[in-house]
Structure 1
């Protein structure tokens, strides 16, 4: 049924649960797993004076977080005995990047975690999972 599963990760507990589900599905269906973490290289509209230091700090932390999230997902894939590849995507707009990568990879399923934000948090912070659900042309399995 599924041959190529895309697993976006941000290194969170929710992403770890999604990795377990994605690995289980990949094993059951003999699917390959594509693990991605998206770093928005310019997350702010403008920087105050000295903002270059803030951007450098953000990018260093984002790179480290991406590496840790991918390493955890790779460990889950290895433990499950499924084939995987992993990439850090450095693109603006995580949801759009995930959907575009799913299309380029030929994914027939996206499995991702959700923080379950509601109310003002959802309005202010947005929901990558909700945006992926809206934009994706393939099924999206959201793990809470």
Structure 2
């Protein structure tokens, strides 16, 4: 049986992330593990802003920050209610999957618990899947919650 001491919960505030938070908090409580909650914001998004698009970039960054904080607050409330020790932060890095994996390595994470949006078909090919990338590249176990 595995012995998890430090669990990572990446969140984007979505319904699937909230389901993952429920699972991560339950596992942390059962194992007496610490929980790290992160949300990743890409400070230079993939979209290109036209010249003078600073206003659009500012709007994107404000919305991304608000979404990240909301996701962290939701997961933090679950952890607090369950009496689970946690820390949280917003990662401002390019690419959610490499950021999540880098954080896991740096912090000595034993398990990553994350939600999946369940994209299939063309959406999956075009948009990719952060969960799939983390699952493929992670050096530690990953539990994907649907």
TM-score, normalised relative to structure 2: 0.96
User: How many residues in Structure 1 have an aligned counterpart in Structure 2?
Assistant: 144
Unaligned runs of 5+ in 1: none
Tell me the alpha carbon deviations over residues 42-100 of structure 1, each in whole angstroms, 9 at most, x when there is no partner. Answer: 11253213321111111000000000000000000001111000000000010000000
Which residue does 1:38 correspond to in 2? 40
Aligned partner of residue 49 in structure 1, secondary structure: coil
Which residue does 1:123 correspond to in 2? 125
Work out whether 1:93 is the aligned partner of 2:95: yes
- The separation in 2 between residues aligned to 1:50 and 1:93, in whole angstroms, is 25
Moved beyond 2 Å, runs of 4+: none
Which residue does 1:105 correspond to in 2? 107
TM-score, normalised relative to structure 1: 0.98
Which residue does 1:55 correspond to in 2? 57
Aligned partner of residue 140 in structure 2, secondary structure: coil
Aligned partner of residue 119 in structure 2, secondary structure: coil
Which residue does 2:4 correspond to in 1? 2
Unaligned runs of 5+ in 2: none
Aligned partner of residue 43 in structure 2, secondary structure: coil
Alpha-carbon distance, 1:16 to partner: 0.4
Alpha-carbon distance, 1:123 to partner: 1.2
CA RMSD of the aligned region, Å? 0.8
- The separation in 2 between residues aligned to 1:73 and 1:130, in whole angstroms, is 22
Once the two structures are superposed, the pairs formed by residues 52-91 of structure 1 within 5 Å of their partners are: 52-91=54-93
- The separation in 2 between residues aligned to 1:58 and 1:120, in whole angstroms, is 25
